[in-house]
């Protein structure tokens, strides 16, 4: 391929899901070159057309890009916005400005982004451009074995954080106008309580969690009533990289040490639990990095064809995603998710499992629908978890959540249900979890007519769970199932990764944490950039 271009030798920083200037290895590598810097974000129509992507994610990214642009301007340059396919954008920039190198973080994403990155690598090689990718979260590309993975991951987390550069040498490239969500057919804002994107919001989440909100994290994370405040709420910021996972890990290590030293062992234990989940976060991303087909095919082939794919307009799928199943707690979770873009992990497992087990739907379409509702959609966590909760990994013991028992356990007084399913608010708490069991006179006094004011339950959950369990265990008993499951465990399982089992984790959390490295003791999230013109 031959290019006619004015060779100024710019180094492009290709921002994807790393929307920050702090602890940014690709940015640091570009700065070290001494060349003019061209910070680039590409709005790719093909990316935003994927079923997993949505307006709420776009708006979060837009928030984050605006803050990133301000941080870059405070350092002497600006974010260059382009719209189109990555190769077309790079080709045009190369012809006009002459690209000497492209710097980017390695991305573990959907098959679409994997294929795009391979195509960009081929293009860069043919154009004679160096493409330099940096690891971002301890996930290892082309990993040969899971043995010792956790120790290597922790070593990555302990490395010094990269300080944001004080000044950047600008290029001559101008930015295009920022696109609107309507340009991608994303429609109107449908998430009124969405978390705000950007580094400032990420820092605020992390600080408030480590200083106060996370005190009851261990016991409060399971119920949607308490989890929204007691959980870190960092997930969308980690997904889009407004804060690095190393920053979160080192801050948590410091906080755990300080709470333990002050005698607040309960708070220290909660932070220890959070630290272990940061490792699990990357453990699951590593699964998708090692096997991209997890997004689209059953991890264990023994489950192929076990469940039917829902047809277009399947009323069961529509009722589930819209919160009209007739199970109040489940419906409350789905309605809350639609309005806020977030749901705690235990409830994510329950709603995914309900679609797979109680409705007996193939997991792929429900997983796509859920992904679009999550502001914090992270492919490497979402798809391995969708398969785990659907019992198609072969490695995990099937767990089928009872939506009524979960309701009674996690929302005993019905406060969460009354908030999100107000048409049932007149029911006494004893009948709120299973309104079909309430006497007709009780329902009448509450103004409830099942099938009219609130749906009849879509399925007999006890019978459906038993049937699902029977079908799944029939597959597990087939010849060859165990050998295939053992091979998958060797490739993806946590035992070989070095992540401790639950008992070991609990013991670690109860122990007084060791002091962090000296560099971590002065942890600073660098809210104020060198120039006071903008906040980063």
- Determine the pLDDT at residue 446: 97
pLDDT-derived band at 470 (thresholds 50, 70, 90) equals very high
User: Could you write out the DSSP letters of every residue in 79-131?
Assistant: PEEEES-HHHHHHHHHHHH-EEEEEEE-----HHHHHHHHHHHHHHHHHT-EE
For the segment 399-417, the average pLDDT, to the nearest whole number, is: 97
- Determine the pLDDT at residue 525: 54
What are the angstrom distances between the C-alpha of 380 and each of 71, 362, 367? 28, 19, 13
pLDDT-derived band at 395 (thresholds 50, 70, 90) equals confident
Give CA–CA dist 61/237, Å, rounded. 10
Tell me the two tokens of residue 402: 């009872």
- Determine the pLDDT at residue 113: 98
Residues making up the binding site for FAD: 217, 274
- Determine the pLDDT at residue 329: 98
- Determine the pLDDT at residue 396: 81
Cα Rg of the chain (Å, integer): 24
Q: What are the tens digits of pLDDT across the range 339-372?
A: 999 999 999 999 999 999 999 999 999 999 999 9
Residues making up the binding site: 217, 274
Mapped onto helix, strand or coil, the DSSP state of residue 43 is: strand
HSE toward the beta carbon, residue 322, CA cutoff 13 A: 11
- Determine the pLDDT at residue 502: 40
Spell out the domains of the chain, with CATH numbers in brackets. 10-136 (3.40.50.620), 195-290+498-521 (1.25.40), 298-495 (1.10.579.10)
Long-range contact set of residues 427-434: C-beta below 8 Å, sequence gap at least 24: 432/328, 432/407, 433/328, 433/329, 433/404, 433/407, 433/408, 434/404, 434/407
Give CA–CA dist 341/193, Å, rounded. 7
pTM: 0.91
For the segment 451-474, the average pLDDT, to the nearest whole number, is: 97
* Percentage of the residues of the chain whose pLDDT score is greater than 70: 90
Residue (of 334, 325, 329) closest to 417 by Cα position: 329
Q: 412 with 429: CB under 8 angstroms?
A: yes
Q: What are the tens digits of pLDDT across the range 1-58?
A: 333 343 458 999 999 999 999 999 999 999 999 999 999 999 999 999 999 999 999 9
Mapped onto helix, strand or coil, the DSSP state of residue 231 is: coil
Q: 87 with 120: CB under 8 angstroms?
A: yes
142/208: higher pLDDT: 208
Q: What are the tens digits of pLDDT across the range 282-334?
A: 999 999 999 999 999 999 999 999 999 999 889 999 999 999 999 999 999 99
Q: What are the tens digits of pLDDT across the range 64-98?
A: 999 999 999 999 999 999 999 999 999 999 999 99
Lowest mean pLDDT among 171-175, 486-490, 519-523: 519-523
Alpha helices by DSSP H, 231-378: 235-240, 245-261, 265-290, 315-322, 328-340, 345-353, 364-373
Q: 316 with 361: CB under 8 angstroms?
A: yes
pLDDT at 496 over 90: no
Give CA–CA dist 331/325, Å, rounded. 6
pLDDT-derived band at 517 (thresholds 50, 70, 90) equals very low
Q: 368 with 362: CB under 8 angstroms?
A: no
pLDDT at 450 over 60: yes
* Percentage of the residues of the chain whose pLDDT score is greater than 90: 85
Contacts of 281 (CB under 8 A, 6+ apart): 137, 238, 245, 378, 381
- Determine the pLDDT at residue 494: 62
Q: 515 with 253: CB under 8 angstroms?
A: no
pLDDT-derived band at 493 (thresholds 50, 70, 90) equals confident
Q: What letter does residue 133 receive in the DSSP assignment?
A: E
Q: 200 with 527: CB under 8 angstroms?
A: yes
CA 125 to chain centre: 32
pLDDT at 530 over 50: no
Q: 512 with 263: CB under 8 angstroms?
A: no
Please give the biggest Cα pair distance in the chain.
82
- Determine the pLDDT at residue 533: 34
With 0-12 / 13-18 / 19 or more C-beta atoms within 10 angstroms meaning exposed / middle / buried, residue 415 is middle
Q: What are the tens digits of pLDDT across the range 107-165?
A: 999 999 999 999 999 999 999 999 999 999 999 998 888 889 999 999 999 999 999 99
Q: What does DSSP say about strands 10-15 and 99-105: parallel, antiparallel, or unpaired? A: parallel
Residue (of 325, 267, 293) closest to 460 by Cα position: 325
pLDDT at 529 over 90: no
Contacts of 529 (CB under 8 A, 6+ apart): 21, 71, 74, 75, 164, 535, 536
Give CA–CA dist 369/507, Å, rounded. 38
């Amino acid at each position: 391929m031959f290019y006619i271009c004015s060779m100024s030798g710019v180094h492009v920083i290709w921002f994807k899901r790393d929307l920050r200037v702090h602890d940014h290895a690709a940015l640091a590598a570009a700065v070290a070159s001494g060349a003019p810097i061209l910070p680039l974000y590409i709005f790719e129509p093909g990316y935003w057309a994927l079923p997993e992507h949505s307006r709420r994610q776009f708006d979060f990214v837009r928030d984050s890009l605006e803050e990133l642009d301000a941080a870059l301007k405070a350092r002497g340059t600006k974010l260059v916005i382009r719209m189109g396919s990555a190769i077309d954008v790079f080709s045009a920039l190369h012809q006009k400005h002459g690209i000497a190198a492209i710097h980017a973080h390695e991305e573990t994403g959907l098959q679409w982004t994997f294929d795009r990155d391979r195509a960009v690598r081929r293009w860069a090689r043919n154009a004679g451009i160096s493409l330099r990718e940096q690891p971002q979260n301890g996930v290892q590309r082309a990993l040969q074995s899971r043995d010792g993975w956790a120790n290597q991951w922790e070593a990555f987390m302990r490395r010094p954080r990269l300080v944001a550069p004080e000044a950047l040498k600008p290029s001559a490239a101008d930015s295009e106008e920022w696109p609107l969500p309507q340009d991608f057919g994303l429609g109107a804002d449908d998430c009124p309580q969405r978390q705000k994107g950007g580094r400032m919001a990420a820092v605020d989440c992390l600080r408030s969690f480590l200083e106060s909100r996370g005190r009851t994290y261990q016991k409060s994370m399971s119920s949607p009533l308490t989890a929204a405040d007691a959980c870190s709420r960092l997930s969308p910021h980690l997904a889009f990289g407004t804060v690095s996972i190393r920053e979160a890990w080192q801050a948590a290590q410091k906080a755990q040490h300080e709470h333990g030293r002050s005698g607040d062992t309960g708070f220290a234990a909660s932070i220890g639990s959070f630290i272990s989940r940061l490792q699990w976060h990357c453990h699951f991303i590593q699964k998708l990095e090692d096997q991209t087909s997890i997004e689209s095919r059953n991890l264990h082939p023994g489950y192929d064809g076990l469940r039917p794919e829902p047809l277009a307009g399947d009323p069961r799928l529509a009722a589930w995603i819209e919160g009209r199943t007739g199970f109040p707690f489940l419906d409350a979770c789905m309605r809350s998710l639609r309005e806020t873009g977030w749901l705690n992990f235990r409830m994510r497992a329950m709603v995914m499992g309900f679609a797979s087990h109680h409705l007996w739907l193939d997991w792929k379409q429900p997983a796509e629908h859920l992904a679009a509702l999550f502001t914090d959609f992270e492919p490497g966590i979402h798809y391995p978890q969708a398969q785990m909760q659907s019992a198609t990994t072969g490695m995990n013991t099937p767990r089928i959540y009872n939506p009524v028992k979960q309701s009674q356990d996690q929302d005993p007084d019905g406060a969460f249900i009354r908030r999100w399913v107000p048409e049932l608010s007149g029911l006494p708490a004893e009948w709120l979890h299973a309104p079909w069991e309430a006497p007709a006179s009780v329902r009448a006094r509450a103004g409830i007519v099942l099938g009219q004011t609130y749906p009849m339950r879509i399925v007999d959950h006890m019978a459906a769970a038993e049937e699902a369990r029977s079908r799944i265990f029939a597959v597990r008993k087939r010849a060859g199932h165990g050998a295939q499951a053992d091979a998958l465990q060797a490739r993806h399982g946590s035992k070989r990764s070095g992540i401790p089992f639950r008992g070991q984790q609990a013991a670690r959390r109860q122990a007084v944490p060791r002091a962090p490295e000296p560099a971590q003791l002065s942890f600073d999230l660098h809210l104020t950039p060198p120039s006071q013109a903008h906040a980063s």
